[in-house]
Amino acid sequence: MTEMVHHRIDGPPPEGRDLGLPLLLGPSMGTSLAVWDPQVPALARDRRVIRWDLPGHGGSPADVVDTTPGATTIADLGRLVLALADSLGVDRFDYAGISIGGAVGAWLAVHHPERVASLAMVCSSARFGEPAAWHERAALVRAEGTAPLVEMSATRWFTPSFLESRGFPESGGFPESRAEALINDLRAADPAGYAAGCDALASYDLRGDLARIAVPTLVIAGRDDSATPPTHGRELADGIPGASLVEVAHAAHLANVERPKAVLAALLGHLADTAAEAAPRDDASRHAAGMAVRRAVLGNEHVDRAIARTTDFTAPFQDFITRYAWGEIWTRPGLSRRTRSCITLTALVAHGHHDELGMHVRAALRNGLTPAEIREVLLQTAVYCGVPAANSAFAVADRILREEREG
């Protein structure tokens, strides 16, 4: 066997900068590290992001594990991740993984808690079904390759509307798109490596160990995911002490591809909250934590404009809102970012703060609310804040949502 999985590093160089902990990203079965492309630019803005390929996927050879039928386990994949981190001089890291990638992260959090600072599991599970089904799939792939899995996987990875918008399968393929690239990753996967992944999933059952995960954990589930339905996410969130759960509407198994902004918002919030909880609570750390959350919620462009407009006269106020509103309130773990967005929209409608309302409609989208959910919040305000206030709010929100669609 060779010793190392293929990987890619994004983000600024570490020399002379405090980048915080590196973030390791694990892929889903059948895909390459490119599955994380929608989130990496934002995640890698201020930290090193390290993505890796499963055995036989992307750039990783199959023989980084023992491909003998039934031999590979999730523990083997976890040890490959630790070997990669060791080779890069990474002692402790944040971790996020999709499906089998999330299972690897959970195994690491249970068996090597000193290495994992935080965990995010996207469309993952504590157990991926009956072992027999995975052994049957492994045997099929070893005999016929991955081609027989393409249509089934596409309909599990994406919702019908997402597939229809890309012409699969009726037109015989996708136009150039991220979805097509991921399907091609599956077609190109080494059958021995894919089958080894099936073997790993067949023997994986972490249900009895979930209570041993002691790191801050985020669970993200796609509401239309048939491979790991939302009940799997709820089982993870209920079993892992203190875990948070975000269910993403209109998303199947590759929720981060189908609803990239919602998943990114949840990840950025989770990482910012984890950093804030770990930081000492003095004014400087509150400001740093607040700035991280402010950027995650409002976006870098908005915050950069606000900083550029700061004068000697307004600087104390900018410092105050960064430390207090963002560093004290928005960083608190008691409510999700989605819930805080709903509350904020309601308060701004009630007081008629329309400029702030427009800003926070954009923030709500970034925090994972859909336009339909924003509409429901505004309808609720019509009852409790008054119809004229809601009428003005609908006009503001409609303008912002149009700009977001067209931009």
- Contact assessment for residue 81 and residue 104, using Cβ atoms and an 8 Å cutoff: yes
| Alpha helix ranges (H) inside 44-170 | 74-87, 100-111, 131-144, 150-157, 160-164
Q: Please list the alpha-helical segments (H only) found in 222-259.
A: 230-239, 255-258
Which secondary-structure segment (H or E) carries 23?
strand 23-26
In whole angstroms, give the CA distance from residue 254 to residue 39.
Answer: 13
Distance CA 203, CA 107 (A): 13
Amino acid at 156: R
Per-residue pLDDT of the chain (407 residues; tens, 9 = 90+): 556 899 999 998 766 455 679 999 999 999 999 999 999 999 998 889 999 999 999 999 999 999 999 999 999 999 999 999 999 999 999 999 999 999 999 999 999 999 999 999 999 999 999 999 999 999 999 999 999 999 899 999 999 988 877 544 433 444 447 788 899 999 999 999 999 999 999 999 999 999 999 999 999 999 999 999 999 999 999 999 999 999 999 999 999 999 998 999 899 888 887 876 665 567 887 888 888 888 888 888 889 999 999 999 999 999 999 999 998 898 886 777 888 999 999 999 999 999 999 999 999 988 878 899 999 999 999 999 999 999 999 999 999 999 988 86
Amino acid at 131: P
- Tell me the domains of the chain and their CATH numbers: 7-275 (3.40.50.1820), 281-406 (1.20.1290.10)
Q: Which is nearest to 125 in space by CA: 109, 146, 147, 106? A: 106
User: How far apart are alpha carbons 132 and 123 in whole angstroms?
Assistant: 21
Report the SS3 class of residue 344. Answer: helix
**How many whole angstroms separate alpha carbon 293 and alpha carbon 305?**
16
The answer to whether 327 and 276 are in contact (CB under 8 A) is: yes
CA–CA distance from 368 to each of 6, 134, 202, 268, 269 (Å)? 32, 33, 33, 11, 10
Taking Cα atoms as reference points, which of 284, 268, 269, 210 lies closest to residue 241?
210
Contact criterion met (CB below 8 Å) for 48 and 19? yes
pLDDT number for residue 276: 65
Helices 191-203 and 100-111: angle between axes, nearest 10 degrees: 50
Cα gap 359→229, rounded to integer Å? 34
> In angstroms, what CA-CA distances link 64 with 68, 112, 182?
12, 21, 22
CA distances, 167 to each of 179, 231, 249 (Å)? 11, 30, 22
As a whole number of angstroms, the distance between CA 389 and CA 385 comes to 6
Q: Which ranges in 112-247 belong to alpha helices (H)?
A: 131-144, 150-157, 160-164, 178-188, 191-203, 230-239
Q: What kind and span of H or E run contains 116? A: strand 116-122
**163 alpha-carbon distance from chain centroid:** 21
